[in-house]
Amino acid sequence: MKSIVILISGRGSNMQAILEARLPVKIAAVISSNPNAHGLEIARQHGIPAHALNHRDHETREEFDTALAARIAGFNPDLVVLAGFMRILTPNFVNDYNGRLINIHPSLLPAFTGLNTHARALTEGVKIHGCTVHFVTPNLDKGPIIIQAAVPVLPGDTEETLGARVLEQEHKIYPQAIRWFAEDRLTVTPDCNVILQNQQPVETALRSPWEPQ
């Protein structure tokens, strides 16, 4: 069975969804860059070893990443899962984990890379928003896309209501992506597209605004 290490920095709701999805993986550890992360508590309640590695104890990004890499290596995971991990990782770290490091981002990438994605989606007036799970490459929020979920932007939406609608989908697609990884069904092509092996083609569409035809 493959094993994973989950990196968090805060609330840990994606981590919780992964812990509760009964995936065919061993969850070796949860590591938080923030010792006060609520997610650490949740991990311990699930019986998962939970460690804090405070980024403030390290003077440079490189030093923190070296310590983080050493901590992760102790668990020898097949996959490292960034779940609300709020640190930008150095290219050295990312390259060492090429093909074994995934992230969830709260937008339909490549739209709205970076922070405050829901507020920016509302400002731009997009009618469809969503979330993305992708392999991590040194280019922030630019790695090969594994799965996306789209939600409508509804009249009267606020950053909070839209964010909650997206988060509900995050909790579905992140466990799904890890399941595919565990099943060895993900292949990254030389031009950085992800192919899902044995995919059942289904034709469907999300239109927004929606009215019956």
Which residues contribute to the site for ligand GRF (CB under 6 A)? 8, 10-15, 83-84, 104-106, 167, 170
Q: How far is the CB of 131 from ligand GRF (least distance, A)?
A: 6
Residue 4 identity (one-letter amino acid): I
Which residues are registered as beta bridge partners of 80?
A: 5, 101
Q: Which is nearer to ligand GRF, 77 or 84 (CB)?
A: 84
Residue 141 identity (one-letter amino acid): D
Q: Which is nearer to ligand GRF, 74 or 114 (CB)?
A: 114
Q: How far is the CB of 89 from ligand GRF (least distance, A)?
A: 13
Q: How far is the CB of 82 from ligand GRF (least distance, A)?
A: 7
Q: Which is nearer to ligand GRF, 39 or 77 (CB)?
A: 39
Residue 197 identity (one-letter amino acid): Q
Count other C-beta atoms under 10 Å from residue 7's C-beta.
26
Question: Following DSSP, what letter does each residue of the chain receive, concatenated?
Answer: -EEEEEEESS--HHHHHHHTT--SEEEEEEEESSTT-HHHHHHHHTT--EEE--GGGSSSHHHHHHHHHHHHHTT--SEEEESS--SPPPHHHHHHTTTSEEEEESSSTTSS-SS-HHHHHHHHT-SEEEEEEEE--SSTT-SPEEEEEEEEPPTT--HHHHHHHHHHHHHHHHHHHHHHHHTT-EEE-TTS-EEETT---------SS----
* CB-closest chain residue to ligand GRF: 84
Q: Which is nearer to ligand GRF, 105 or 129 (CB)?
A: 105
Query: Which residue among 46, 51, 55, 105 is the active-site one?
Result: 105
Q: How far is the CB of 81 from ligand GRF (least distance, A)?
A: 11
Q: How far is the CB of 106 from ligand GRF (least distance, A)?
A: 4
51 given a catalytic annotation = no
* Residue positions annotated with a catalytic role: 105
